[in-house]
Amino acid sequence: MAKLLPKGRLLSWSVPLIAVFLGIFIGAIIMLVSGYNPITGYSALIRGIFSDTYYLGETIRMMTPLILAGLAVAFAFRTGLLNIGVEGQLIVGWLASVYVGIAFDLPAVLHLPMAILAGALAGALWGFIPGLLKAKFQVHEVIVTIMMNYIALYTANAIIRSYLLVPGERTESINQSASLSSPFLQSLTDFSRLHWGFVVAILACVIMWFILWRTTKGYELRAVGLNQHASQYAGMNVQRNIILSMLISGGFAGVAGAMEGLGTYGYMSILSGFSGLGFDGIAVALLGANTAIGVVLASFLFGGLKIGALNMQSQAGVPTELVEIVIALIIFFVASSYIIRWVMNRVKKEDI
């Protein structure tokens, strides 16, 4: 395999695999210490994903927003930016798509794309603000995006309470013409909440790959991420590319929210806290090495762990919190590998 793949590519793929193995292995040790049988626990988890069509459908359903949130983080990272505001962009995208789904009564061929586009535009607008501040005033995007997560959460809740609230602390249900739900897919998966949003997520992966690797603008975005000064010297508009990157990244996150509003739930509730999907997207992008295919595989792992944990609890008595520990360990080992690689590169430079 080392002969088939370049050394850098081999390392980028081996690191996540090793991290997953170590996370699962140490998770097994924690289960043993806690008095649970890891073989029984992991067997129940795997059976829950692959042998039960309901859990398989729920895993794919969970993957859908994780893929899009992961793409949002990965796209920004590929262009030299850290978008920690995916959660907020997802929330405003969720609200915008639900509003369009409620307020308009159009044929499905127009209504559904318009609702998804509304989510994308809302997320892009929420990404535009930190992008503009970064480009014009060099305000670090991490600080701004973190703060805007809270602004998105409480603004969305205030709008729902003031204008869209119905009994149940939520909005009305969207019109069927704007829904991604599929009775056909649900019947195939023992009436899970699987919907057509998974197709949208896969198309988004293709779009990200095409933009970054098959367009001139994608080359500019990646070049600016690698070296802003060299890009500016080459005649590229650095400020415009920074803003565009955050717009596209926010658009992916907004569509992730639309998948929840138009597919999984069909409405938006007043949120007592963050959904967590945006923050999980950071982990998905990290584990997926910021590639489209890597994000899909990482989202399957995370979605499978989260949904399979329910079967672990019911069949083996293992608390779902132990799966969260396994996920945290995987993220830790992926992050540690980047630190080790950074230290090794610094040592090599000093030797030169």
Which residue, chain included where needed, has tokens 């520990």? 325
As given in the structure block, the two tokens for residue 93 are 């995208």
Give the pLDDT score at 323.
84
Alpha carbon distance 286, 302 (integer Å) = 12
**pTM assigned to the model:** 0.91
Q: Which of 296, 269, 274 is nearest to 284 (CA)?
A: 296
Give the pLDDT score at 340.
55
Give the pLDDT score at 5.
44
Give the pLDDT score at 256.
98
Give the pLDDT score at 10.
56
Give the pLDDT score at 339.
60
pLDDT in tens, the chain (352 residues): 444 444 555 556 677 888 888 889 999 999 999 888 899 988 888 887 777 899 899 999 999 999 999 999 999 999 999 999 999 999 999 999 999 999 999 999 999 999 999 999 999 999 999 999 999 999 999 999 999 999 999 999 999 999 999 998 999 999 999 999 999 999 999 999 999 999 999 999 999 999 999 999 999 999 999 999 999 999 999 999 999 999 999 999 999 999 999 999 999 999 999 999 999 999 999 899 899 999 999 999 999 988 888 888 877 788 888 888 888 888 888 777 666 566 556 555 555 5
Q: Which of 225, 204, 172, 265 is nearest to 70 (CA)?
A: 204
Using an 8 Å Cβ cutoff, are 177 and 107 in contact?
Answer: yes
Q: Is 102 left (phi over 0), alpha (psi -120 to 50) or beta?
A: alpha
CA trace torsion 235, 251, 149, 320 (10° rounding):
-120
Using an 8 Å Cβ cutoff, are 253 and 42 in contact?
Answer: no
As given in the structure block, the two tokens for residue 320 are 């779902």
As given in the structure block, the two tokens for residue 177 are 């013409």
Give the pLDDT score at 51.
77
Give the pLDDT score at 3.
44
